[in-house]
Structure 1
Amino acid sequence: MVNAAQTSRMLRGFLLLEAGLLSAASMVHSGLLLRGHAHGAARMAEGVIAAVLLAAWALSFVMHGRTRKLALLAQSFALIGTLVGLFTIVIGIGPQSAPDLVLHFALVALLLAGLYFARRARGVFA
């Protein structure tokens, strides 16, 4: 049986990994990591989503009993934002590179996995 401490570590791991990927994407779209992929709107959106995920991660250390709820809220926000980004790619106003599509699909999968895990953790924090 998984206890609350183990579940909290797992949820924090999801939040940190997701924030890291979105931070890296934001740096790519700022031109810091890769030249030729700058996109101001994508940089800003990814940066905001990463900040929300990092805030939830940090708050989970102070509000131990709320880790699950913080993870659910932050990852839901991130999923909505990532789906909006994917939509902008599809309609042609977002970045149009293959790595952008791969990143967005990978993020959607990771966020769905994190949300699934957080949702299933209900009994652990009850």
Structure 2
Amino acid sequence: MNEQEKKPREREEVFSQVVKAGKRTYFFDVKATRGDEYYLTITESKKRMGKDGKMFYEKHKIFLYKEDFNNFMDSLNEVYNFIKSNQEIIPRPERKPESTSEFELSEAETNFSSVDFEDLGK
């Protein structure tokens, strides 16, 4: 038995999208089966307060396989069009991405004073 066979194969994400929607976050992750067939997981994550006062994330997950994509998308589009034709859909304001590189810091974030730790004891 070689090293490949001993280790269980990790289900690496092939592609991901994140949608922030108010207090919820949706993750759309494309993964591959052992036979390299793609499938989609849709995860809804909500931040909750536990009885012990600690925060935790409640997650719900849907697995969608490629043979069901067309029916799923047809139904999703039908539901969306029904809502759109019967009620006004108000778009959420655009939000800045949460992840920033060190080069994307705003002027407020870069205006700081230099502190020498040796000065703290004086």
TM-score by length of 2: 0.28
Higher helix share: 1
| Bigger relative CO (Cα 8 Å, ≥ 6 apart) | 1
Which of the pair has more CA radius of gyration?
A: 2
Higher strand share: 2
